Amino acid sequence: MLLSHVVHTAATEVCFPSPLSVLQGEGPRASCGAGAGQDVGRSCILVSIGGKNVMLDCGMHMGFSDDRRFPDFSYITRNGRLTDFLDCVIISHFHLDHCGALPYFSEMVGYDGPIYMTQPTQAICPILLEDYRKIAVDKKGEANFFTSQMIKDCMKKVVAVHLHQTVQVDDELEIKAYYAGHVLGAAMFQIKVGSESVVYTGDYNMTPDRHLGAAWIDKCRPNLLITESTYATTIRDSKRCRERDFLKKVHETVERGGKVLIPVFALGRAQELCILLETFWERMDLKAPIYFSTGLTEKANHYYKLFIPWTNQKIRKTFVQRNMFEFKHIKAFDRAFADSPGPMVVFATPGMLHAGQSLQIFRKWAGSERNMVIMPGYCVQGTVGHKILSGQRKLEMEGRQVLEVKMQVEYMSFSAHADAKGIMQLVGQAEPENVLLVHGEAKKMEFLKQKIEQEFRVSCYMPANGETVTLSTSPSIPVGISLGLLKREMAQGLLPDAKKPRLLHGTLIMKDSNFRLVSSEQALKELGLAEHQLRFTCRVHLHDTRKEQETALRVYSHLKSVLKDHCVQHLPDGSVTVESILIQAAAHSEDPSTKVLLVSWTYQDEELGSYLTSLLKKGLPQAS
């Protein structure tokens, strides 16, 4: 490709505005932009950068039990293959609102390309997916849901990435993971194509907690930072307060001989609470048993032990003396234990009290005021968990029986998201050119948007579900300049001054994704092209009865007198030249008293050519 271009030599940069678009696709099927997903929504963002398409997270919505639970991927390609369209998929962490639709996406819709996630996410993700599948297929008529085999096949497409390791997805696209501190293995990702880059935070936490460190990113100055904004306006009380509160409540219940039920999902929150209780039990020398149902502890703890480098500094340091995940007080639960007298704490699945063991235990214990249920996470409408959290105390079970809930019901949020302060801190760390807020409520995001724009003087966007944001970037494209061209320029003028930009003329060659500025002669040589000359021609009619040679001589004399600075020549064949301009006189075929001047000039002498033509059109001075 050959481009004739003018380049500023000082910076050797060419600026091409290039579009970079981001699509946040969290809306339910049937094309509804249902707000900004302030509930447990489907995180699924599509980024197009430098011609590459990357999907960030592939979450599901737990609140729906029909196909609205998954993002509608037909918006990405109407009929085409996803594998052809997407260059890669990145999963930030193992929560289902970020990875729950992955097997559906890869095995049922059909995506065969690479999926990137960190090693802990890769290990834990299938456990949670399996956990959820088991609950989902329990439902009658549950169709269009992935199978165990699909989860496995999907996980085989995963490529694990290490922190701070630059992974080359292809020749142009590279990604890099940073620590996010939200859950074990949670990561923020930098996506880079050429000089353009985007950082996606996923969910993150800027304050270290009991088992995880704080999120961190280097000053990578991306074109765009896509950040979650769950707690956009909240300055959260410290997690330690919430933990103290939790321990106090559990302790009080156990002390008065009551039983504590903590419905959880297999991994994540459960391990965090196990650490809390384990250390508390040890410190207070408590004897009441703690049980963990469904045999999940071993597996979960295995992973937490395996991924000790992903935990916080304290756990890592003490790891050699004592592994925090080697629980002494927490034992496997047997169904018969639920009927045992005396206090106990039981972690049971599922976390929303809508099936299985947790619900069975709840029904046994609900009738006593001494007992307590602690809900550490979100519950979908329709579940017993949702009902008791909204204060309902008489529950209709099985459509007939009424269960009176006398036990205490507590909600404790332990989710580790950055609050407004944390988000500002991260924006300060990364120094992006633009910020895009996702995963938050519109009104809260508006406040944060203004704050970011004021403080950092960058543009901030908050697209609703299904909306696309397109940004213009100014990528730096390095251009090499041939030595010959530089020498020639130097020979013509002053020495280059680093402070003063100067114009440099040359021919820009784009070959094999490289730009080079060379002299036009060299460009022709390299590309094996012959030089063509472009000439403009014009006919000027003069009333002159003399012969052609005499007319030419008159033209010559006239121009010689007018154009003193130019080289005007009268050639032996009778034609006249001024620089590259050629003038020939000829007789008019029909009118002998008229002579025709044929004027022709090159593209370079266009100005002079036009001037000469207009001069000649005025006629020649009368011969003296």
Residues recognised as catalytic: 228
Does position 39 interact with another protein (CB under 8 A)? The reply is yes
Instruction: Determine the interface stretch with another protein among 354-362, 445-453, 498-506, 546-554 (rule: CB under 8 A).
Output: 354-362
Closer residue to another protein (CB): 32 or 571: 32
Does position 575 interact with another protein (CB under 8 A)? The reply is no
- The backbone torsions φ and ψ at residue 53, rounded to the nearest 5 degrees and listed phi first, read -115, 125
Instruction: Determine the interface stretch with another protein among 27-35, 320-328, 425-433, 566-574 (rule: CB under 8 A).
Output: 27-35
Q: How far is the CB of 524 from another protein (least distance, A)?
A: 23
CA–CA gap between residue 365 and residue 383 (Å, rounded): 17
Site string (6-25) toward another protein, x via CB under 8 A: -----------------x-x
According to DSSP, the β-strands at 394-397 and 401-404 are antiparallel
What does the block give as tokens for 443?
């009104």
Residues in region 125-144 near another protein by CB under 8 A:
130, 134-135, 137-141
According to DSSP, the β-strands at 187-193 and 173-179 are antiparallel
Query: Which one among 257, 295, 484, 619 touches another protein, defined by CB under 8 A?
Result: 295
Q: For residue 564, what are the CA distances in angstroms to 78, 257, 373, 543?
A: 71, 115, 104, 25
Between CA 116 and CA 122, with CA 117 as vertex, the angle to 5 degrees is 120
Query: Which one among 285, 339, 497, 590 touches another protein, defined by CB under 8 A?
Result: 339
Among the listed residues 127, 60, 61, 69, the one whose alpha carbon sits nearest the alpha carbon of residue 268: 127
Between CA 346 and CA 126, with CA 385 as vertex, the angle to 5 degrees is 70
Residue type present at position 110? G
Does position 567 interact with another protein (CB under 8 A)? The reply is no
Does position 391 interact with another protein (CB under 8 A)? The reply is yes
Tokens 């993700």 belong to residue: 125
CA–CA gap between residue 433 and residue 427 (Å, rounded): 10
Closer residue to another protein (CB): 398 or 590: 398
Query: Which one among 16, 143, 168, 171 touches another protein, defined by CB under 8 A?
Result: 171
Does position 64 interact with another protein (CB under 8 A)? The reply is yes
DSSP codes joined into one string, 392-414: --EEEETTTEEEE--SEEEE---
Does position 112 interact with another protein (CB under 8 A)? The reply is yes
Does position 203 interact with another protein (CB under 8 A)? The reply is yes
- Any idea what DSSP says for residue 208? -
Residues in region 434-453 near another protein by CB under 8 A:
442
Instruction: Determine the interface stretch with another protein among 9-17, 253-261, 388-396, 421-429 (rule: CB under 8 A).
Output: 388-396
Tokens 């996702």 belong to residue: 438
CA–CA gap between residue 180 and residue 417 (Å, rounded): 10
According to DSSP, the β-strands at 259-263 and 196-200 are unpaired
CA–CA gap between residue 14 and residue 155 (Å, rounded): 43
Please, what sign has the CA dihedral across residues 73, 78, 80, 86?
negative
Query: Which one among 285, 398, 531, 607 touches another protein, defined by CB under 8 A?
Result: 398
What does the block give as tokens for 592?
């002998």
Does position 50 interact with another protein (CB under 8 A)? The reply is no
Residues in region 507-566 near another protein by CB under 8 A:
none
Site string (464-503) toward another protein, x via CB under 8 A: xxxxx-----------------------------------
At residue 309, the 3 state secondary structure works out as helix
Sheet holding 224-228, edge to edge: 166-168, 173-179, 187-193, 196-200, 224-228, 434-438, 459-461
Does position 602 interact with another protein (CB under 8 A)? The reply is no
Closer residue to another protein (CB): 154 or 552: 154
Does position 32 interact with another protein (CB under 8 A)? The reply is yes
Does position 341 interact with another protein (CB under 8 A)? The reply is no
Residue type present at position 582? L
Q: How far is the CB of 142 from another protein (least distance, A)?
A: 9
Instruction: Determine the interface stretch with another protein among 9-17, 187-195, 395-403, 495-503 (rule: CB under 8 A).
Output: 395-403
Instruction: Determine the interface stretch with another protein among 191-199, 389-397, 424-432, 558-566 (rule: CB under 8 A).
Output: 389-397
Instruction: Determine the interface stretch with another protein among 187-195, 273-281, 346-354, 524-532 (rule: CB under 8 A).
Output: 346-354
Does position 331 interact with another protein (CB under 8 A)? The reply is no
Residues in region 231-290 near another protein by CB under 8 A:
231, 265, 268-269
- The backbone torsions φ and ψ at residue 271, rounded to the nearest 5 degrees and listed phi first, read -65, -40
Does position 208 interact with another protein (CB under 8 A)? The reply is no
